[in-house]
Amino acid sequence: MTNPIRIGCIGLSARGMCNMGEMLSIPGVVVPAVCDIYDDRADAGAKLVHEKTGTTPNVYLDHEDMLAKEKLDAVLCCTTWITHARIAVDCMNAGCHVAIEVGGAASVEECWQMVRTSEDTGKFCMLLENCCFDRKEMALFNMVRQGVFGEVVHCEGGYRHDLRDEIAYGKENRHGRLPNFLARNGELYPTHQLGPIAKLLRINRGNQFLTLTSVASKARGLNEFILREKGPEYYLANAQFACGDIVTTTIKCAGGETITLVHDCSLPRPYSRNYALSGTRACYREAPFNDAIYIDGRSPHHEWEQFDKYLPEYEHPLWKAYHDQAQHAGGHGGMDYLVLCAFVDAVARGEKPPIDVYDTAAWMVVTCLSEQSVAMGGAPVPVPDFTNGMWVDREPAYDGKFCLEEVV
């Protein structure tokens, strides 16, 4: 990279600081401006940039002010879920490519706004779905593309993560999850496993989501946790949380495949993305089956095998090339580093990223559609085609080293 890549950073809570820190380790990246609505977080961001680079960025409390005054190539946005889309639109209109942290959409309209703005401005909007670049997910993707699973017919995933303290103490920690759990009942955080599944099933390139159904259990986990940890005098002790403790969503695809997602963040449990693949020749299950795989004609008859046995044979080329760098960078086992590298690479090349605005919209829209389905007792809801029919015969995909359509 001959010219510095000027990236502004908006949103500097724990996740934003982590992402910005990792991005600054990528050659060619400079951060001339940081922004957060809280001055202490904005100042902390400026301090981190100075510690890592020796330069001091300009500090802003309003992202529109930053976009108006700074000459930036791109923006990294790590704000709250319900502000990602509007900030992305502002960034693209200001002439910047933008990467936004994960989270579900508040409305179908804001997804269309991102798509139309990207098309009108020629600037890309990339969802930072880091799980697409996880070592295990990429190895499984490699196996699917090599035909090990035969034809994939069903996928499962989810976000099963005990976040009771993070949600309940949202006011004290200035964390954005709390108001969403209080006000919304649906699949609030769909993209972590949906992203890898969508790429595996060629969604938006020869396949698409057709319909979605969601059902939600009652909400009890957060109330019990708050009473135990904070007592009956705490302001949330008798709060009526809208989001069910377990939200189950099923998606039907144009290719005939089905996808099941589970959202589970307010009950005690170990972390899991609930990943499972079922094909005509093999199947795979994440924990609690300890990452087990069964390959027809290769595994012992009717016996699970440890997935790690096959990892050396099917290691994705990207992980072979970046293993030491990604592991050294550290964020979520290295996948944070790789997704940020993919973003920076796309900005440097001035070409579309491996996760484009159509992917971003299709994955994020699951949240607001699931809210609609839950409210109607699990009735099916159509999923918009954000490509406007282009999914049938799209232009060739990005085929660089960070490609998520094929194994490059």
How far apart, in whole angstroms, are the C-alpha atoms of residue 191 and residue 84? 14
The token pair at 19 is 């992402």
How far apart, in whole angstroms, are the C-alpha atoms of residue 249 and residue 214? 4
Fold of 5-130: Rossmann fold (3.40.50)
* DSSP string across 122-183: ---EEE--GGGG-HHHHHHHHHHHTTTT-SEEEEEEEEE---HHHHHTHHHHT-THHHHHHH
Q: Mean pLDDT over residues 114-143, rounded?
A: 98
* Per-residue model confidence (pLDDT) at position 333: 87
Q: Which backbone phi and psi does 130 adopt, to 5 degrees?
A: -65, -25
How far apart, in whole angstroms, are the C-alpha atoms of residue 30 and residue 28? 7
- Any residues with CB less than 8 A from the CB of 47 and at least 6 apart, and which? none
How far apart, in whole angstroms, are the C-alpha atoms of residue 126 and residue 199? 14
Give the other-Cβ count within 10 Å of 99's Cβ.
Answer: 29
Which amino acid type is present at position 386? F
Nearest CA-CA partner of 32 in 126, 84, 96, 88:
96
pLDDT tens readout for residues 48-83? 999 999 999 999 999 999 999 999 999 999 999 999
* Per-residue model confidence (pLDDT) at position 331: 79
The token pair at 281 is 């020749």
Nearest CA-CA partner of 112 in 74, 85, 91, 92:
85
How far apart, in whole angstroms, are the C-alpha atoms of residue 36 and residue 195? 28
CB-CB contact of 381 with 187 (8 Å)? no
* Per-residue model confidence (pLDDT) at position 1: 45
State the architecture of 131-317+357-392 in CATH terms: 2-Layer Sandwich (3.30)
Q: Considering the chain, what percentage of its residues have pLDDT values greater than 70?
A: 98
How far apart, in whole angstroms, are the C-alpha atoms of residue 74 and residue 236? 39
Q: Considering the chain, what percentage of its residues have pLDDT values greater than 90?
A: 93
pLDDT tens readout for residues 161-202? 999 999 999 999 999 999 999 999 999 999 999 999 999 999
How far apart, in whole angstroms, are the C-alpha atoms of residue 30 and residue 76? 12
Cα angle value 17/19/25 (rounded, 5°): 105
The token pair at 153 is 């017919």
Buried b / exposed e along 238-277 (16+ C-beta atoms within 10 A): ebebbbbbbbbbbbbbbeebebbbbbbbbbeeeebbbbbb
pLDDT tens readout for residues 296-314? 999 999 999 999 999 999 9
How far apart, in whole angstroms, are the C-alpha atoms of residue 300 and residue 297? 8
Instruction: Report whether pLDDT(33) > 50.
Output: yes
Q: Mean pLDDT over residues 308-325, rounded?
A: 92
End-to-end CA distance of the chain: 21
Q: In the chain, where does the domain assigned CATH 3.30.360.10 lie? A: 131-317+357-392
Instruction: Give the predicted TM-score (pTM) of the model.
Output: 0.96
Q: In the chain, where does the domain assigned CATH 3.40.50.720 lie? A: 5-130
Residue 326's pLDDT band (cuts 50, 70, 90): confident
* Per-residue model confidence (pLDDT) at position 146: 98
